[in-house]
Amino acid sequence: MLSKPRRGSTPVSFIKKLRKSSSVQSVGVDTPTHPRAIGRLLELKPDGTQTVELTRPPHGPFGIYIARATAQYNYSVFVTRFSDGHPEKLFAGLLNVGDEILEINDSSVKNLSLDEVYNLMGSTDTMVLRTVPVWCREKYTAQ
């Protein structure tokens, strides 16, 4: 067992002792058995909006939770979280918590209820979203 370096001893000598006493174990990391594409960025527009295509997993929903905002945000539809089976890092670069959803499959969600939006999301295996990413919200002005 290694003890902390004594006063007056150099940190270099302690590091050398640590390296000698440490053992490295080989840990096997398997490749995914069912790799799949989550989606892709189709278009990034000058107004800051982006068009993203998402592919439904083989078994289950897209894994996106949404909510309707308050009057401060014009009652828009926002991504609020991802399901446990779909960590946020899977959607990195495509979709983030806080992104505003403007359209799903070329249908505006502005005047739809949340149930109707979820029905749009669940009606197809490939979903095309037009969003305002959270990182460019201040630049975007609704048209």
| 21-26: average pLDDT | 50
Rg of the Cα trace of the chain? 24
pLDDT bin (cut points 50, 70, 90) of residue 2 is very low
Q: pLDDT tens for residues 5-19?
A: 455 555 555 555 555
Alpha-carbon gap, residue 118 to 139, rounded angstroms: 28
Token pair of 61, please?
């929903």
Query: What 3-state DSSP class applies to 48?
Result: coil
pLDDT digits (tens, 9 = 90+) for 112-136: 999 999 999 888 889 999 999 988 8
Q: What are the structural domains of the chain?
A: 39-136 (2.30.42.10)
At 66 the pLDDT is 92
